[in-house]
């Protein structure tokens, strides 16, 4: 499939985790996996993008755990969602990438404690997998957007091929501003 015609299947909505103004000129959506080394490498570039385009860019993160390759990615996504339910998604997002080699359940719980989450609520939500459906919906949206791997980036609804480097993300943002 010609990459230039691939578009985001699920528009950005109120349930997404986003940073930046809602009506920004540029909206970047990442489908990511907390256990993916390439996603970890992309995280600093995303922060740089947010700094460079401060009031003109909105960044949205969606889950696309590659469970066959990354055995802890799904639980990490669930932990991030539990943190999000307590308004701590972004701090958990950063902790998970910073500690990518340690994503077992005991570590996820320790990160939740570090973020001072309500641990009874965290434990109940993880045990009941209350965010699993949301994560599955993200995965489905990624698949319908023709994603094969992570990270998958879309700028203003169009896929950006970052396989040759994250500079493509900056280039796409510049084009979107014109």
| Torsion of Cα atoms, 86 then 91 then 97 then 103, to 10° | -40
| Cα Rg of the chain, angstroms | 16
Q: CB under 8 Å to 75, separation ≥6 — which residues?
A: 103, 105, 108, 126
Centre a 10 Å sphere on the Cβ of residue 67 and count the other Cβ atoms it contains. Answer: 14
Q: Long-range contacts made by residues 107-111, C-beta under 8 angstroms, separation at least 24? A: 108/75, 108/76, 108/79, 111/79
Q: What is the pTM of this model?
A: 0.95
Stretch 99-107: mean pLDDT, rounded?
Answer: 98
Among 15, 45, 41, 4, smallest CA distance to 28 is for: 45
| pLDDT tens track for 17-70 | 999 999 999 999 999 999 999 999 999 999 999 999 989 999 999 999 999 999
Grade residue 1 by pLDDT with cuts at 50, 70 and 90: very low
Stretch 124-153: mean pLDDT, rounded?
Answer: 97
Grade residue 85 by pLDDT with cuts at 50, 70 and 90: very high
How confident is the model at residue 40, as a pLDDT? Answer: 97
User: What's the whole-number average pLDDT of the chain?
Assistant: 95
CATH 3.40.30.10 is held by the domain 3-177:
yes
Q: What spatial distance separates the first Cα and last Cα of the chain, rounded to whole Å?
A: 27
**Domain ranges within the chain, ordered by starting residue:** 3-177
pLDDT at 3 over 70: no
Residue that has been written with the tokens 């719980």 in this structure: 109
How confident is the model at residue 4, as a pLDDT? Answer: 58
How confident is the model at residue 6, as a pLDDT? Answer: 82
Tell me how far the alpha carbon of residue 59 is from its chain's centroid. 9
């Amino acid at each position: 499939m010609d990459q230039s015609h691939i578009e985001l299947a699920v528009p950005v909505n109120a349930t997404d985790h986003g940073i930046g103004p809602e009506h920004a000129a540029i909206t970047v959506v990442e489908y990511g996996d907390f256990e993916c080394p390439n996603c970890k490498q992309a995280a600093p570039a995303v922060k740089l993008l947010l700094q460079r385009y401060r009031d003109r860019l909105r960044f949205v993160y969606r889950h696309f755990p590659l469970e066959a390759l990354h055995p802890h990615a799904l639980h990490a996504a669930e932990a991030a969602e539990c943190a999000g339910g307590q308004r701590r998604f972004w701090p958990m997002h950063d902790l998970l990438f910073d500690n990518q080699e340690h994503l077992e359940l005991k570590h996820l719980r320790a990160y939740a404690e570090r973020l001072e989450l309500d641990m009874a609520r965290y434990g109940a939500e993880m045990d009941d997998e209350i965010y699993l459906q949301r994560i599955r919906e993200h995965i489905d949206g990624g698949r319908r957007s023709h994603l094969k791997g992570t990270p998958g980036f879309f700028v203003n609804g169009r896929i950006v091929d970052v396989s040759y480097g994250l500079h493509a993300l900056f280039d796409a943002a510049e084009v979107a501003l014109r």
